[in-house]
Amino acid sequence: MPSYVNSSIVSKRLSLSPAMDNAVKSAEFNRAWSPLALALRGENADVPLLRTWDIYSGSQPDINSGDMYAREPDLDLNTFEARRSSLEIHIDNSNWTPTPYISFTSSWDALQTFANFRDSQRSRKNQTITAIDPAVRLEAGWPVVCFGEEMRHYGIRDPYGMANAELRSHYLCLWRVLQNEIVGHWNWDDLSSNPNWYQDTILPAFRRFREERRRRELVDDDQVDVLSSAINSLGLDDDTLSSESPSSSSGRESSDDEELWVLEGRETVESNTREML
């Protein structure tokens, strides 16, 4: 299983403070949305998640950063009612109250149906399809939850009578989607001109995205090895540091400030090394 972490920002938004949690258990205690908990529940992170959008849609990619933000990007989701009410609003297409969710689907068929429906409306033409890799955000500590599962847990009525398969393939990214999670964007008219658009375009792009990410990780691993070798060659190990005294064997005096600088430098290098792993 991939190494999933809990982002400190996410942890604060999903959980109550310890003092409050002792009195009233947070929603996270009863129904965890943390990436690790989602992985243990068997959520699939090995397929691209797809979204169709146009000029009237919320959560469009930022023109400068490329990041996508929910229309309510800072809402805490640490109580049952906060989750239930925001999920209920989000599924109601007639209610434009901002929510902390960005909708995606794991079903190419559901995406195709919805994109064609939107494209048939005069005001909603020129659909753009965005694909993301859910594993990137999960490994960074940002949740992706299955709407169908959460709808059942929080007792939310489906106003449209959607099939269970459609609800199960409906995923919600909480608060934001960063540019480094995005596999690509495609114009729907161009993409759908090939009936096998998913197999011929999306999946190959998804595989290339993962291969390139893995290649970068291997390069980072090599850099970590270089840094580790540099640390060793400089003699910045525990034995060397502990054996040095204010009067070294070379006759050079070593002040407390100099020793502190060496230790801080070592901690910085080792911290950067750990972050790369």
The domain locations on the chain are: 8-193, 218-276
User: What's the mean pLDDT when you consider all of the chain?
Assistant: 81
Q: Are 86 and 102 in contact (CB under 8 A)?
A: no
To the question of domain 8-193 being in CATH 1.10.3470, the answer is: no
> pLDDT at position 1, please?
47
pLDDT(273) > 50: no
Q: Higher-confidence residue: 277 or 126?
A: 126
Q: What is the pLDDT of residues 228-249, one digit of tens each?
A: 666 666 665 555 545 554 444 4
**pLDDT-based confidence at 262, cuts 50/70/90?**
very low
The answer to whether residue 253 scores a pLDDT higher than 60 is: no
Report whether pLDDT(223) > 50. yes
The pLDDT-based confidence of 217 (bands split at 50, 70, 90) is confident
Closest by CA to 248, choosing from 235, 265, 232, 267, is 235
What share of residues in the chain are helix, strand, coil (percent, to 5)? 50, 15, 35
Q: What is the pLDDT of residue 122?
A: 85
Model confidence at 121: pLDDT above 60: yes
pLDDT at 218: 86
Q: Which residues of 63-87 are buried (b: 16+ CB within 10 A; e: fewer)?
A: eeeebbbbebbebebbbbebbbebb
pTM reported for the whole predicted model: 0.76
Tens of pLDDT, residue by residue over 158-208, are: 999 999 999 999 999 999 999 999 999 999 999 999 999 999 999 999 999
- Judge whether residue 103 has pLDDT over 60: yes
pLDDT tens string 127-141: 999 999 999 999 999
What's the pLDDT score for residue 261? 41
Give the model's pLDDT for residue 222: 53
Residue 260 — pLDDT band, cuts 50, 70, 90?
A: very low
- Start-to-end Cα distance in the chain: 16
Which value, in Å, is the radius of gyration of the alpha carbons in the chain? 24
